[in-house]
Structure 1
Amino acid sequence: MKLTKLFNDFFNSEKAGGLILVLATILSLCIANSPWQTAYTNCWQFSFAGHSVVHWINDGLMTIFFLLIGLELEREIYTGELSSFKNASLPVIAAVGGMIVPALIFLLFNTGGPGQPGAGIPMATDIAFAVGILSLLGSRVPASLKIFLTALAVIDDLGAIIVIAVFYTSTLSLVHLFLALGVFAVLLVLNRLKIQNPVPYLLGGIVMWYFMLQSGVHATLAGILLAFAIPFGNGDERSVSYRIQHFLHKPVAFFILPLFAMANTGISISSDWYAGLTQNLSVGIIAGLLTGKPLGIALFAYIGTAVKFCTLPSELKWKHIIGAGFLGGIGFTMSVFITLLAFTDAVITDTAKIAILIASCAAGIIGYLFLHFTLKKTTPGDTI
């Protein structure tokens, strides 16, 4: 199966970005538990233009990350793995299972309790980490598995945005929301008029982001909307979509996501940190990511193929889907992102973050080892 240059660029940027994310997280944890802890924490709370630095990162820079995700999703829909129903149905139904089952497992432990708002936490997949772990397996990874995992993670992130917009909007200003949607409508008109200059779209995106921020709906939704307003054309290197997506790869992978990790994983770990792992919140997160993700992804994919809704590519075996399911359990960035929206109590937030880090590390290790031995033993006629 031939992979496009832009897909390879996207895959490689996420691969390198995964390593940078690991280093950024380790550095953040080290500083947060050193004599510089107070200064480190305070630097992220420094106020600029009415908002803290961490707020600008989470609501501002992360919008650019979702713009990149939206552009990749658009490309997959128009010319990639999602361009036909036959190809799209498998990662779509797998992603749906990978969101529903973890959320149900989480609610099994947290319904009616203080952790209930965190049901969206184990639904997420960190695309950079997941792709980064898969890339460590080298040339043994079939192209179809790369595409499946990337499409799965992109759809998962889109699902996370929908969950954020629907369930994590505490206050809603209809006036600002309609203004944001009005700007989006204007950008769609520019698209229909075949305006190819990227400047009007980017300026309009900033205005839409501002109104979305004021509306109470999480501002990062503006990134996804902007992606689908930007002209795709025929998707070649001259198209506006291609140029913006190509430009964003490295800033997102090497600056925005590591900065997000630095700002949000500076957890001061107490001597009894492990006590929180027995709380329903932690159990729900760990069980959701480690069990719910692979179970939901594999189960829904299997049911989809059993009822002829989708087909399994010839290169893939069911054990590869299970391995990809474990990698889907690496929630990290997106899970932390949703945690910050779900809880305001610092103790609960830190407890959730520790559970996310543990579950994501375990999912990455299990997924890597599972695929390492699976891919090594795979032969053309192999079956489950």
Structure 2
Amino acid sequence: MKVTKLFADFFESEKASGIILIICTIVSLVLANSIVRENYEQIWHYQLGHHSVEHWINDGLMTIFFLLIGLELEREVYIGELSRIKNALLPIIAAIGGMLIPAGIYMVFNFGTPTQPGAGIPMATDIAFALGTLSLLGNRVPTSLKVFLTALAVIDDLGAILVIAFFYTDNLSLFNLGIASGIMGVLFIFNRMKVHNWIPYIIGGIGMWYFMLNSGIHATISGVLLAFVIPFGDGSEKTISSKVQHFLHKPVAFFVLPVFALANTAIFIESGWVEGLIHENSIGIFLGLVTGKPLGILIFCFLAVALGWCSLPPGVKWKHVLAVGFMAGIGFTMSIFITLLAFKSYPEAVTVSKIAIMISSLVAGIIGYAFLNSTLKGNEVHEEEL
């Protein structure tokens, strides 16, 4: 199977990003539990313009990450794996199963409790960590499986974005939302008029982010919306969409996500953290990510194939789908992100949730890697690139 250079570049950048995220997480946890703890925490809580550095990272810097995700999704929809209905259907159905089943498992334990809003936490997949884990298996992994996991993770992130927009929105300001929508409308007109200068889109995107921030809807949504009004054209490297996408790959992989990881894993592990892991919130997160993700993906894919709606990609077997399902249980970045939104009014749940997410993601990643490694023994694949 041939893959485009852009997909290969994306996969390689996510592979490196996954490794860096692991290092940043370890460093942050060590510093947060060392003698420099107070100074380290002050860095992220330092106030800049009425907001902390951590807040600017989560609401501002992460918008760039969502812009890249939106551009990747746009490319997949127009000319990638999602451009053909039959190819797109399997990862779409897999993503739906991988969101609904974990959320359902979480709700079994948390329905009617103060932690009920955390149902979105185990629905998420961390693209960088998932692809980084898959990449550790090298050329033995069929490219069709890499593309399947990438499409699944991108669609999963879109689902997480929709969950944030519909379920984690505070007091809604229709005035600010209207202005943000108006700016998007103007940018869409620029798109249809084939305005290929990137400056109006960047200026408009910043304005859209500002008014979205003040509308009550999480500001990072503006990143995805901006992606879909940036002209895509024929998808060639000369188009503004492709240029922005190329430009953002390395800053997101090597700066945005690592900084997010450093800021949000600066967790002081108190003596009673073990007891917190047997709380229904932690159990829901663990079971949702470690068992709900693979089961949801496998069951929904099996039903889709059995009903004749789609078929497995070439070279992909059911055991591969199950292994990838475990890798999709690496929630990390997106799960932590949703945690911060879900428990704004219940800060006591944030720290233990982050610990549960890290443990769950680690377990899911190890199981997925070990299982897929055992199924691919002796299988060496050499893919041809365009």
TM-score range, shorter chain: over 0.9
Instruction: Provide the C-alpha distance between the structure 1 equivalents of 2:128 and 2:83, rounded to a whole number of angstroms.
Output: 23
Matching residue of 1:57: 57
Instruction: Provide the C-alpha distance between the structure 2 equivalents of 1:314 and 1:341, rounded to a whole number of angstroms.
Output: 39
Instruction: Please say if 1:367 is aligned against 2:368.
Output: yes
Partner SS for 2:285:
helix
After superposition, residues 62-77 of structure 1 pair within 5 angstroms as 62-77=62-77
Instruction: Provide the C-alpha distance between the structure 1 equivalents of 2:199 and 2:242, rounded to a whole number of angstroms.
Output: 14
Bigger shift: 83-92 or 263-272?
A: 263-272
Instruction: Provide the C-alpha distance between the structure 2 equivalents of 1:128 and 1:200, rounded to a whole number of angstroms.
Output: 30
Matching residue of 1:27: 27
Matching residue of 1:321: 321
Matching residue of 1:151: 151
Instruction: Provide the C-alpha distance between the structure 1 equivalents of 2:12 and 2:215, rounded to a whole number of angstroms.
Output: 36
What letter matches 2:288 in structure 1? G
Task: Give how far 1:219 is off.
Answer: 0.3
Task: Give how far 1:163 is off.
Answer: 0.2
After superposition, residues 125-164 of structure 1 pair within 5 angstroms as 125-164=125-164
Matching residue of 1:48: 48
Instruction: Provide the C-alpha distance between the structure 2 equivalents of 1:379 and 1:346, rounded to a whole number of angstroms.
Output: 48
TM-score by length of 1: 0.98
Instruction: Provide the C-alpha distance between the structure 1 equivalents of 2:313 and 2:256, rounded to a whole number of angstroms.
Output: 34
Instruction: Provide the C-alpha distance between the structure 2 equivalents of 1:51 and 1:134, rounded to a whole number of angstroms.
Output: 37
Question: 2:140, 2:380 within 8 Å by CA — same for their partners in 1?
Answer: no
Partner SS for 1:298:
helix
Partner SS for 2:267:
coil
Task: Give how far 1:129 is off.
Answer: 0.1
Instruction: Provide the C-alpha distance between the structure 2 equivalents of 1:40 and 1:13, rounded to a whole number of angstroms.
Output: 28
Matching residue of 2:354: 353
Distance 1:379-1:258 versus aligned 2 partners, 3 A rule: closer
Instruction: Provide the C-alpha distance between the structure 2 equivalents of 1:30 and 1:260, rounded to a whole number of angstroms.
Output: 16
Task: Give how far 1:132 is off.
Answer: 0.1
Instruction: Provide the C-alpha distance between the structure 2 equivalents of 1:272 and 1:370, rounded to a whole number of angstroms.
Output: 33
Instruction: Provide the C-alpha distance between the structure 1 equivalents of 2:271 and 2:61, rounded to a whole number of angstroms.
Output: 34
For residues 143-194 of structure 1, the C-alpha deviation after alignment (integer angstroms, 9 at most, x for no partner) is: 1000000000000001001000000012100111111111111111000000
For residues 122-149 of structure 1, the C-alpha deviation after alignment (integer angstroms, 9 at most, x for no partner) is: 0000000000000000000001000000
Instruction: Provide the C-alpha distance between the structure 2 equivalents of 1:79 and 1:283, rounded to a whole number of angstroms.
Output: 40
Instruction: Provide the C-alpha distance between the structure 1 equivalents of 2:354 and 2:201, rounded to a whole number of angstroms.
Output: 36
Q: Gapped runs of 5+ residues in structure 2? A: 382-386
What letter matches 2:202 in structure 1? L
For residues 92-127 of structure 1, the C-alpha deviation after alignment (integer angstroms, 9 at most, x for no partner) is: 000000000000000000000111010000000000
For residues 310-341 of structure 1, the C-alpha deviation after alignment (integer angstroms, 9 at most, x for no partner) is: 11112100111001000000000000000000
Q: Gapped runs of 5+ residues in structure 1? A: none
Identity across the alignment (%): 63
Partner SS for 2:81:
coil
Instruction: Provide the C-alpha distance between the structure 2 equivalents of 1:97 and 1:178, rounded to a whole number of angstroms.
Output: 34
Instruction: Provide the C-alpha distance between the structure 1 equivalents of 2:379 and 2:94, rounded to a whole number of angstroms.
Output: 22
After superposition, residues 215-364 of structure 1 pair within 5 angstroms as 215-344=215-344, 345-364=346-365
For residues 259-296 of structure 1, the C-alpha deviation after alignment (integer angstroms, 9 at most, x for no partner) is: 00110111111223111111000000000000000000
What letter matches 1:114 in structure 2? P
Task: Give how far 1:42 is off.
Answer: 1.4
Instruction: Provide the C-alpha distance between the structure 1 equivalents of 2:109 and 2:336, rounded to a whole number of angstroms.
Output: 19
Instruction: Provide the C-alpha distance between the structure 2 equivalents of 1:330 and 1:190, rounded to a whole number of angstroms.
Output: 38
Instruction: Provide the C-alpha distance between the structure 2 equivalents of 1:288 and 1:133, rounded to a whole number of angstroms.
Output: 19
Instruction: Provide the C-alpha distance between the structure 1 equivalents of 2:40 and 2:314, rounded to a whole number of angstroms.
Output: 51
What letter matches 2:79 in structure 1? T
Instruction: Please say if 1:15 is aligned against 2:15.
Output: yes
Task: Give how far 1:346 is off.
Answer: 3.1
Q: Where has structure 1 moved over 3 Å in runs of 4 or more?
A: 377-380
Matching residue of 1:87: 87
RMSD between aligned alpha carbons?
A: 1.1
What letter matches 1:82 in structure 2? L
Instruction: Provide the C-alpha distance between the structure 2 equivalents of 1:149 and 1:261, rounded to a whole number of angstroms.
Output: 22
Instruction: Provide the C-alpha distance between the structure 1 equivalents of 2:113 and 2:378, rounded to a whole number of angstroms.
Output: 45
Instruction: Provide the C-alpha distance between the structure 1 equivalents of 2:347 and 2:268, rounded to a whole number of angstroms.
Output: 11
Partner SS for 1:278:
coil
Bigger shift: 346-355 or 92-101?
A: 346-355
Matching residue of 1:116: 116
Instruction: Provide the C-alpha distance between the structure 2 equivalents of 1:181 and 1:375, rounded to a whole number of angstroms.
Output: 48
Question: 2:106, 2:285 within 8 Å by CA — same for their partners in 1?
Answer: yes
Instruction: Provide the C-alpha distance between the structure 2 equivalents of 1:164 and 1:272, rounded to a whole number of angstroms.
Output: 30
Instruction: Provide the C-alpha distance between the structure 1 equivalents of 2:197 and 2:11, rounded to a whole number of angstroms.
Output: 27
Question: 2:139, 2:380 within 8 Å by CA — same for their partners in 1?
Answer: no
Bigger shift: 234-243 or 38-47?
A: 38-47
Matching residue of 2:384: none
Question: 2:140, 2:379 within 8 Å by CA — same for their partners in 1?
Answer: no
Bigger shift: 247-256 or 346-355?
A: 346-355
Instruction: Please say if 1:197 is aligned against 2:197.
Output: yes
